[in-house]
Amino acid sequence: MQQNLRIPGPTPIPPAVAEAMARPMINHRGPEFAAIIARVSEGLQHFFQTTQPVLGFPSSGSGAMEAAIVNSFSPGDEVLSVTCGAFGNRLAKIAETFGLKVTRHAVEWGHAADPEAVAQALAAIPNARGVLLTHNETSTGITNDIQALARVIRQRRPDALILVDVVSSLGCIDLRMDEWDLDVVFTGSQKGWMVPPGLAMIGVSQRAWAATERATLPRSYWDFRAARKSLEKGQTPYTPPVSIYFGLDVSLPMMRAEGRDAIFARHLAGGTLVRERARTMGLRLFADPAFASNTVTAIDVPEGVDGKALTKAMRENEGVVIAGGQEHLEGRIIRIGHLGYFSEADLTACMDALERQLTALGHRVPTGAAGA
Amino acid sequence: MQQNLRIPGPTPIPPAVAEAMARPMINHRGPEFAAIIARVSEGLQHFFQTTQPVLGFPSSGSGAMEAAIVNSFSPGDEVLSVTCGAFGNRLAKIAETFGLKVTRHAVEWGHAADPEAVAQALAAIPNARGVLLTHNETSTGITNDIQALARVIRQRRPDALILVDVVSSLGCIDLRMDEWDLDVVFTGSQKGWMVPPGLAMIGVSQRAWAATERATLPRSYWDFRAARKSLEKGQTPYTPPVSIYFGLDVSLPMMRAEGRDAIFARHLAGGTLVRERARTMGLRLFADPAFASNTVTAIDVPEGVDGKALTKAMRENEGVVIAGGQEHLEGRIIRIGHLGYFSEADLTACMDALERQLTALGHRVPTGAAGA
């Protein structure tokens, strides 16, 4: 059975990208790869909305988090970490692991960060060298208003570094690195980019470049300076994940052809479709509707239904793979991914399947819900 | 033109592996991936010749070097680094970057480490906590006798950790992690494994597991303990390079079918063929013949020939991609890879092309050399 993969990453791969993934290997120090990396970098800059070089690291998104921290700070540096869920917590924990003094501004799961509350939290840390933000919190399905958050942070701390996890949002939801004055912005290939996992991509502002020179945390693999120096020669400091670059060299032109605004509109429509169908089935959305994510929707498992049985039934009976909840939300929510390569039909098929399996597990769907 | 990729990695991919690379994405937290990672781990244990779990990290081989260091040691720990070329130097430099006190035992490039000399160097460091070794030095084309080196090290320092870079040797040249009592052994997917770059694979001895608990270097992405804990559940701590696992799930059974000893014999035959042909053409091998590598051969560029022009002519006129020298050997040597997926015909075609292009560039090949 061909699966309908509806988790928030890895995401489905278009046929042309799959074909590219199977291409014969080439020399990563030769002219062919140099041409690919030049095209890919230019495409990434378009979607990061930056004129800065975008660095690639063979890594998952969690590696990008570590890279952002060790290039930006020194042990003892104070940072404010705004956490809205599991991935915000992960970034804060990495900062603590590397000896930063982290003040957590913890937002209740399912909610977005309030700019004024963040401004107040920042006021209590006069020496804050940076603020750690999550654009789209994959564990809860909310999208923070990064533009508003960055504005209040920048007003109060002109020199602080603003690090933003955009792993599950970039290329799907509008984010303007340069215009919003963000400093380190990082994503992973398996999300909006329509290629398999294996490459982390990081945008670094001029302010952050200056910080990398001052930062004293030891770094080798993640060294931004080495990556930039190599990129200027059309290379990487060590062997890159060549197949992922082949994939991006196909997916980025597809994305350019669709158009940045059209992609954002498709994700808005996808998120809207899933949320509407969930409500019609009598389900409650986990996330604050005002900040509902257009790449992943978290839905409360209705009372009387076993959340793990539901994801299993979806997979085994319908061929639809959805995600469960993380940490304390395990078994309590389901999460449906709608990012990267998807069509309305994929989402409708997913929600139809959800309705059937919920009914089979005893949930009473309001009459006439399907397709309502 | 279909290239004959004869660099020491990335290496060519068999058609069945290429096909696997194009497979649709799956949930990395689901039962299908758990089954794959279980099969891949078992296959890796066979080739690492260990009963210990083999950990996978989305990374290049250089990342594996960093992982080995930060999991094994604490700042100020004294280690002996035996360097025979660029990759030995890289490992030593990473150890220094993370605050280890590194004593370098530098072997002249092109030569292998002498066990007695290493024993003497070790005698001068009574508190050595570890020794850093390279099995196959890709920059010079020598293979160290790790069995002999490990024996003299273990006799003198029963508790020292022996870290071995086996990036360009494992699965090609015999290396017995458990029998030779090695502690941290790491390789990369793009070498002998017949899959594209993107996954580092690391074997960890019981002695090294104990060391990871004592080591105080901060670590998050590279944390061996998190990787082992996830592996036991059929997962990884963060999103794995799923396509590479698909590839290994095909290439490892191919390697098992060929047989470990048959693979080693094929690499010996390949190395012998390339060395013989080079000698017949009147070329000088860069590496000490007693320790010549069976995965990569370094050949001096003959006097009067421009090394860069030679690699360019090979690529443009013959479709054969070979590597040049690194660091001070740039332009002075060429390197030919013969590891992973190759046949005798691939190597013969490469050497025929080399003879033609050397002749065209003015080198006088002894009469009747071709096919001699």
A147 with A295, same domain: the answer is: no
Q: Which residues of A touch B320 (CB under 8 A)?
A: none
Q: How far apart are the C-alpha atoms of A153 and A145, rounded to whole Å?
A: 12
B208 CB-near residues (< 8 Å, 6+ apart): B71, B72, B161, B183, B184, B224
* Amino acid identity, position A107: V
Q: Which of A215, A235, A256 is a domain's end point?
A: A256
**pLDDT at residue B367, rounded to an integer:** 76
Plot region of A113 (φ>0 → left; ψ -120 to 50 → alpha; else → beta) = beta
The pLDDT of residue A2 is: 80
Report how far residue A295's alpha carbon sits from residue A263's, in angstroms, rounded to the nearest whole number: 11
Tokens of A322: 């959805």
Q: Is residue A368 part of a domain?
A: no
Q: Do B220 and A93 touch (CB under 8 A)?
A: yes
Q: A231 with A275, same domain?
A: no
In angstroms, the CA A136 to CA A298 distance is: 12
| Phi, psi torsion values for A244, nearest 5 degrees | -65, -40
What's the whole-number average pLDDT of chain A? 97
pLDDT at A369: 57
Residue A5 has its nearest CB partner, among B22, B26, B323, at B26
Examine residue B369 and state whether it is found in any structural domain, yes or no: no
Task: Check: CB of residue A202 under 8 Å from CB of residue A60.
Answer: no
Domain assignment of residue A370, yes or no = no
A366: left (phi over 0), alpha (psi -120 to 50) or beta: beta
Burial category of A34 from C-beta neighbours within 10 Å (exposed 0-12, middle 13-18, buried 19 and up): middle
Residue position matching structure tokens 């003892």: A76
- Segment holding A64, helix H or strand E: helix A61-72
pLDDT for residue B369: 57
Let me know whether A333 and A211 are in one domain: no
Compare all CA atoms of chain A with the CA of B96 and give the residue at the minimum distance.
A218
The answer to whether the Cα torsion of B212, B215, B219, B222 is positive or negative is negative
Give the distance from residue B152's alpha carbon to the nearest chain A alpha carbon, in angstroms: 31
Which of A245, A223, A203 minimizes the C-alpha distance to A52? A203
Pure H helices in chain B: 15-21, 31-48, 61-72, 86-97, 115-123, 146-156, 206-214, 224-232, 242-258, 260-280, 307-313, 344-360
pLDDT at residue B316, rounded to an integer = 97
Taking CB atoms and an 8 Å cutoff, what residues of chain B touch A28?
10, 197
Instruction: Tell me how far the alpha carbon of residue A95 is from its chain's centroid.
Output: 18
Closest Cα in chain B to A311: B30
Q: Which residue, A256, A274, A299, sits at the end of a domain?
A: A256
Could you tell me how far CA B155 lies from the centroid of its own chain? 26
Number of domains into which chain A is organized: 2
Within 10 angstroms of residue B3's Cβ, the number of other Cβ atoms is 17
The enclosing domain of A278 has a CATH number of: 3.90.1150.10
Mutate to test the interface with A, among B220, B308, B334 (most CBs of A within 10 A): B220
Q: What is the pLDDT of residue A372?
A: 42
Q: How far apart are CA A121 and CA A144, in angstroms?
A: 16
Question: By CA distance, what is A60's nearest residue in B?
Answer: B239
Instruction: Report the chain A residue with the minimal C-alpha distance to residue B311.
Output: A30
Instruction: Please tell me the distance from the alpha carbon of residue A177 to that of residue B31, in angstroms, as a whole number.
Output: 38
Give CA–CA dist B287/B333, Å, rounded. 11
- In chain A, residues with a C-beta closer than 8 Å to the C-beta of B240 are 60, 197
For residues A337 and A314, the answer to whether their CB atoms sit within 8 Å is no
Backbone φ and ψ of B241, nearest 5°? -75, 85
Nearest to B242 among A10, A66, A219 (CB): A10
Inspect the interface and report whether the beta carbons of B243 and A21 lie closer than 8 Å: yes
B98 contacts on A by Cβ (under 8 Å): 218, 220
Identify the CATH number of the domain in which residue A115 sits: 3.40.640.10
Q: Return the residue of B nearest to A5 by Cα.
A: B26
For residue B79, give the 3-state DSSP assignment: strand
Tokens 């290379």 map to which residue?
Answer: A235
* Cα separations in angstroms, A229 against A139, A178, A232, A233, A237: 35, 21, 5, 7, 8
Residue B368 in domain: no
Q: What angle do CA A249, A254, A258 make, to 5 degrees?
A: 150
Rounded Cα distance between A273 and A275, Å, is 6
**Quick check: A10 and B2 CB within 8 A?**
no
Q: What single DSSP character describes residue A19?
A: H
Whether residue A116 is found in the same domain as residue A265: no
Q: Write out chain A residues lying below 8 Å of B11, CB-based.
A: 25
Would you say residue A369 lies in a domain?
no
Shared domain check, A250 and A295: no
Chain A hits for B26, CB-CB cut-off 8 Å, are: 3, 5, 10, 321
Query: Which residues in chain B are contacts of A219 at CB distance < 8 A?
Result: 97
For residue B366, the distance in angstroms to the closest alpha carbon of chain A comes to 31
Among A92, A134, A139, A138, which Cα is nearest to A113's?
A: A134
Contacts of B3 in chain A (CB under 8 A): 24, 26
The vertex-B364 CA angle with B359 and B368, nearest 5°, equals 90
Q: Is residue A365 part of a domain?
A: no
**Tokens 């998050």 belong to residue:** B220
SS3 A315: helix
Closest Cα to residue A350, out of A277, A260, A293? A277
B199 vs B21: CA distance, rounded Å: 13
The answer to whether residue A277 sits within a structural domain is yes
Q: Which of B22, B59, B219 sits opposite A59 (nearest CB)?
A: B59
Cβ–Cβ gap B7/A27 under 8 Å: yes
Measured between beta carbons, which residues in chain A are less than 8 angstroms from residue B315?
A: 30
Q: Is A343 exposed, middle or buried (0-12, 13-18, 19+ CB in 10 A)?
A: exposed
Looking at the structure, tell me whether residues A184 and A274 fall in a common domain: no
Whether residue B251 is found in the same domain as residue B162:
yes
Establish, for the pair of chains A and B, how many residue pairs have beta carbons separated by less than 8 Å: 169
d(CA B151, CA B330): 35
Which of A94, A89, A126, A90 is CA-nearest to residue A105? A89
Same domain for B299 and B215: no
pLDDT means per 10 residues, chain B with 372 residues, are: 92 98 97 98 98 98 98 98 98 98 98 98 98 98 98 97 98 98 98 98 98 98 98 97 98 98 98 98 98 98 96 98 97 98 98 98 81 46
Helix, strand, coil % over all residues of chain B, rounded to 5: 45, 15, 40
Final residue of a structural domain among B195, B224, B256: B256
> What range does the domain containing A268 cover?
4-10+259-360
Give the largest Cα separation in chain A, rounded. 63
Give per-residue pLDDT as tens, B172-221: 999 999 999 999 999 999 999 999 999 999 999 999 999 999 999 999 99
Residue A70 and residue A167 in one domain: yes
Task: Specify whether A130 is located in the same domain as A40.
Answer: yes
B370 within some domain: no
* Rounded percentage of chain A residues whose pLDDT exceeds 90: 97
**CA of B66: which chain A residue's CA is closest?**
A221
As a whole number of angstroms, the distance between CA B239 and CA A188 comes to: 9
Q: Are A22 and A156 within one domain?
A: yes
- Record the pTM: 0.97
- pLDDT score at B2: 80
Please report residues of A whose CB lies closer than 8 A to that of B237.
Answer: 62
First-to-last alpha carbon distance for chain A, in angstroms, is 28
d(CA B268, CA B261): 10
Contact A239 B188 (CB under 8 A): yes
Contact A220 B97 (CB under 8 A): yes
Task: Give CA–CA dist A159/A181, Å, rounded.
Answer: 11
Give the Å distances, CA to CA, from B20 to A18, A20, A297, B23.
10, 12, 31, 5
Q: Per-residue confidence of chain A (372 residues) as pLDDT tens digits?
A: 589 999 999 999 999 999 999 999 999 999 999 999 999 999 999 999 999 999 999 999 999 999 999 999 999 999 999 999 999 999 999 999 999 999 999 999 999 999 999 999 999 999 999 999 999 999 999 999 999 999 999 999 999 999 999 999 999 999 999 999 999 999 999 999 999 999 999 999 999 999 999 999 999 999 999 999 999 999 999 999 999 999 999 999 999 999 999 999 999 999 999 999 999 999 999 999 999 999 999 999 999 999 999 999 999 999 999 999 999 999 999 999 999 999 999 999 999 999 999 999 999 999 765 544
**Interface TM-score (ipTM) > 0.95:** yes
Query: B32 with B174, same domain?
Result: yes
Using CB atoms, pick whichever of B5, B24, B98 lies closest to residue A25. B5
- For residue A232, count other CB atoms closer than 10 A to its CB: 9
CA distance B248 to chain A (A): 14
Candidates B3, B23, B27, partner chain A, best to mutate (most A CBs within 10 A): B27
Pick from A18, A58, A219: CB nearest B58:
A58
